[in-house]
């Protein structure tokens, strides 16, 4: 790099980074950043544009005549879709927190025959494609008389291998002596769980909540199988319907996309470390 005389401030290039390598690195990073940002800006900007302005060239990110008309077109069905999504997601997340923490406790701190084998089966279930169990699951739900109900969506999501694993791994780090002391003092298992273990597990429960929230807020396949009534549809399913019915309503489609993205984005920027923790805690164990 002898020919390169330009010196950058040290704080930009702390280590032995050569300017040329730096240019390449930043060039690549900025290129990919643009590729990610531009579609997101497209959604944002198209949501507030007239139909005729969405596809103008040269492209304008700031709408010439900003309008809320696209959102108005969604007023008929989408408030209900959003409400359904909020309701279903909230119930599933709460149920998963209960099953994952209580299950995690049973696997980490209780002793019973077959424990390790069952845990292995739990973990193994992660490898099973959801789609290869969906048909009997569907038949079962239908025979229980739960087809086209929100309860169906909740029931098939009660079991969470990921959540149980996450909580169990965390509970394992809490020394048994703490529990023994409580047991000697006469605390029941329920008291130990409710007063000691559950409060301690706040960070890992936060990770689980955020992970489940993201998954079920975005889940499309399960509602697609179980829900047919328009009044019960969740947001992703409603969006798919809207697109196939009003395929020329591009502005409203983008407005709907924006609505579905924003809650997750807010949670993402507020609690990014939990998203990362969720991925990493399952990942590094290998």
Map the footprint of another protein across residues 82-141, applying CB under 8 A.
98-100, 102-103, 105-106, 110-113, 118, 121-122, 125-140
* 201 lies in the site for another protein, by CB under 8 A: no
Short-list 38, 36, 9, CA closest to 22: 9
265 counts as binding another protein under rule CB under 8 A? yes
Nearer to another protein, 57 or 231 (CB): 57
Binding status of residue 68 toward another protein by CB under 8 A: no
- Nearer to another protein by C-beta: 113 or 186? 113
User: Of the ranges 25-33, 65-73, 76-84, 198-206, which one interacts with another protein (CB under 8 A)?
Assistant: 25-33
Q: Does 150 bind another protein (CB under 8 A)?
A: no
Q: Which residues ranging from 165 to 194 are in contact with another protein (CB under 8 A)?
A: 189-190, 193
Quickly count: other Cβ atoms within 10 Å of residue 123's Cβ.
16
∠ CA 279-116-198, rounded to 5°: 55
Question: Tokens 């809207």 — which residue?
Answer: 242
Per CB under 8 A, the list member of 2, 175, 186, 283 interacting with another protein is 283
Nearest distance in Å: CB 229, another protein: 16
Determine the angle formed by the axes of helices 161-172 and 202-218, rounding to 10 degrees: 170
Q: Which of 92, 209, 217, 227 binds another protein (CB under 8 A)?
A: 217
* Size of residue set near another protein by CB under 8 A: 97
H or E segment to which residue 117 belongs = helix 115-124
Which one among 19, 43, 77, 86 touches another protein, defined by CB under 8 A? 43
Question: Residue 8 is encoded by which pair of tokens?
Answer: 């950058």
Judging by beta carbons within 10 Å of its beta carbon (0-12, 13-18, 19+), is residue 270 exposed, middle or buried?
exposed
- The smaller minimum CB distance to another protein, of residues 68 and 280, is found at 280
Toward another protein, which CB reaches closer, 207 or 260?
260
84's tokens: 């359904």
Are the CB atoms for 257 and 264 separated by under 8 Å?
Answer: no
Q: Tell me the C-alpha distance between 115 and 75, whole Å.
A: 51
Cα Rg of the chain (Å, integer): 25
Please check whether residue 141 is in contact with residue 152, taking contact to mean a CB–CB distance below 8 angstroms: yes
Is 64 among the residues that bind another protein (CB under 8 A)? no
Establish if 214 lies at the interface with another protein (CB under 8 A). Answer: yes
C-alpha 2/C-alpha 32 separation (Å) is 29
Residue 112 C-beta: closest distance to another protein, Å: 5
Residue 80 or 243: the one with the smaller Cβ distance to another protein is 243
Q: Is 264 in the site for another protein (CB under 8 A)?
A: yes
């Amino acid at each position: 790099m002898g020919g390169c005389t330009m010196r950058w401030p040290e704080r930009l290039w702390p280590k032995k980074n050569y300017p040329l390598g730096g240019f390449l690195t930043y060039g690549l990073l900025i290129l990919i950043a643009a590729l990610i940002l531009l579609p997101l800006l497209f959604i944002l900007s198209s949501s507030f544009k007239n139909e005729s302005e969405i596809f103008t060239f040269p492209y304008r990110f700031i709408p010439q005549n900003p309008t809320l008309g696209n959102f108005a077109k969604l007023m008929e069905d989408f408030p209900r879709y959003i409400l359904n999504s909020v309701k279903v997601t909230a119930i599933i997340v709460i149920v998963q927190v209960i099953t994952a923490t209580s299950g995690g406790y049973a696997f980490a701190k209780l002793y019973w025959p077959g424990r390790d084998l069952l845990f292995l089966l739990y973990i193994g279930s992660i490898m099973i494609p959801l789609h290869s169990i969906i048909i009997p699951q569907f038949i079962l739900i239908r025979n229980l008389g739960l087809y086209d109900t929100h309860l169906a969506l909740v029931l098939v999501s009660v079991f969470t291998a990921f959540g149980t694993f996450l909580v169990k791994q965390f509970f394992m780090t809490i020394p048994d002596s703490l529990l023994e002391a409580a047991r000697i003092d006469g605390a029941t298992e329920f008291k130990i769980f409710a007063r000691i273990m559950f409060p301690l597990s706040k960070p890992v429960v936060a990770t689980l909540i955020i992970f489940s929230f993201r998954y079920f807020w975005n889940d499309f396949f399960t509602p697609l199988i179980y829900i047919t009534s328009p009044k019960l549809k969740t947001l992703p399913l409603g969006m798919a319907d809207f697109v196939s019915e009003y395929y020329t309503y591009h502005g409203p489609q983008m407005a709907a996309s924006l609505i579905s993205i924003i809650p997750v984005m807010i949670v993402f920027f507020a609690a990014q470390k939990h998203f990362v923790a969720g991925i990493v805690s399952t990942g590094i164990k290998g």
